[in-house]
Each structure stands twice: as structure tokens, then as C-alpha cells.
Amino acid sequence: MLLINNLSFSRNDNIIFQNLNLSLSNRSIAQIRGKNGSGKTTFLNVILNFLESKTGEIFWEGKNIKKNIFNFYNKTTFIMDHNTCTRKMTVLDNINFWSRLSSSKLTKDEIVLLLETFNIQKYQNTKTMYLSSGEIRKLELLRLILEQKKLWILDEPYNHLDDLSIEILNQTFIDHINKDGVILFTSHLKPSINNLEVVDL
């Protein structure tokens, strides 16, 4: 479904990566590994068209994403390496904003249930700035389920998470793959997921 063809990127004449090829079909999960500074985050940003690639093309469902960028965004959830929740708003306000922005069909009860699985339901009406970094990370990861998109792109999803949450996250990944999803993520860990493709940068 996601096809990356001969992608290269350079910044100020420094080549970050070049001639990268990757193809992800339905029901597949890929991890990008690499040293610090090897351009993992840059790679994800190039895929999402926030950075301009030097050469190469990216196709989603057979269409060049540059020409159908909003169509592509409509099918994608992007979790960044830092948190995008607004620190001055409460947890529930953040969740409401995200779900409206992605026209999510989840009901209120389902959202509360989601909060309970991650054990942050007691902070519903607390401002996000008073949460710990692990809890904020979990809140951020809720977007995966909230937005109900097909392609998940995650940058360092395991940061700040405890063992239990990592297990829940891995289980979520497997569930998503079984529902015809596609996942691409970067990490330093070696998660125990079957059929994991590994891309080295």
C-alpha cells in the first residue's frame, strides 16, 4: 500500500540518506532502526511531506502523495517524537479536539473506556501540564485508536512508557495489523512482534 521509491534527502549539502526503497503491503509492520542522528525522524517527516525530498517518489494506494496530500493525510495517523497535546488544556478537551479534527466516530463511553485501559481516567479534567511524561505519552498514543486511520506512522512510540504499557501498545499494533492496517515506526528497542520487517538506516 505504501511504496517508497528511490528516496533521498540532503540538508545543506549533507546527504542524510539516499536511494531508500521500501514497500509495505496491507497487514505489515516495519521498524526503522539506526544510530542517533542517522535520520530516522527526518525520514518520517519526508514521507509525510513536511520536508522536501531531493529525489524519489512516495505512493499511497497507487497514487503519488504529493498530488493527493490531503487524501493521504486522511488515512494517516502521525505520532511525533515529542508530544503535541496542548499543555494548557485538560485531557478531555485535548481528546475532543483530536477526535473532531479527524471526524472520529468514537462515542464518549468508548473514550472513557480507552482512558481506563491506559489508567489515566482519573485525570480527565486535569490540565495536561500536571501529568507525568509517561502519562502524556500514553495520552498521545490514544490518538492511534481515536483517529481510526489505516496507516500509522510513529516516531519513538516506546519513549517514557512502562513495561505494561509497552505490552498494551504491542498488542494494539497486532490488532491493527489484523484489521488490514499498515504500521511504520522508529525505535531503538527490539519489540517482540511477529512478522516485523526491519529497515536499517
Partner 1 sequence: MKLIQKIFFFFNREAKLFYSNIGDLFSNILFFFLSIFIFVFALGADEQLLRNVGMGIIWSLLLLSSTLSLRKFYEDDFNNSVIKIIHMGGMSYELIVFLKILSHFFFVQIPFLASIPIACVFFNLPINEVYNLILTFIIGSFILSCLGSISASMNLLNKTNFSIGSLIVLLFFIPVIIFSIGTNNSESDFNSLISLLLGIALIFLGISPWSSAAFIKLALRNK
Residues near partner 1 (CB under 8 A) are: 48, 50-52, 70, 73-74, 76, 78, 80, 82-89, 93, 96-98, 100-103, 127
Is 17 or 98 the residue whose CB approaches partner 1 more closely? Answer: 98
**Rounded least distance, CB 27 to partner 1, Å:** 24
Is 102 or 121 the residue whose CB approaches partner 1 more closely? Answer: 102
**Rounded least distance, CB 46 to partner 1, Å:** 11
Q: Of 172, 178, 99, 91, give the one whose Cα is nearest residue 127.
A: 91
CA distance 70 to 120: 32
**Rounded least distance, CB 70 to partner 1, Å:** 5
Beta pairing, strands 76-79 & 151-155: parallel
Q: Judge whether 194 and 28 are in contact, CB under 8 Å.
A: no
Is 103 or 178 the residue whose CB approaches partner 1 more closely? Answer: 103
Is 72 or 158 the residue whose CB approaches partner 1 more closely? Answer: 72
What is the phi-psi region of residue 167: left when phi exceeds 0, alpha when psi lies from -120 to 50, beta otherwise? alpha
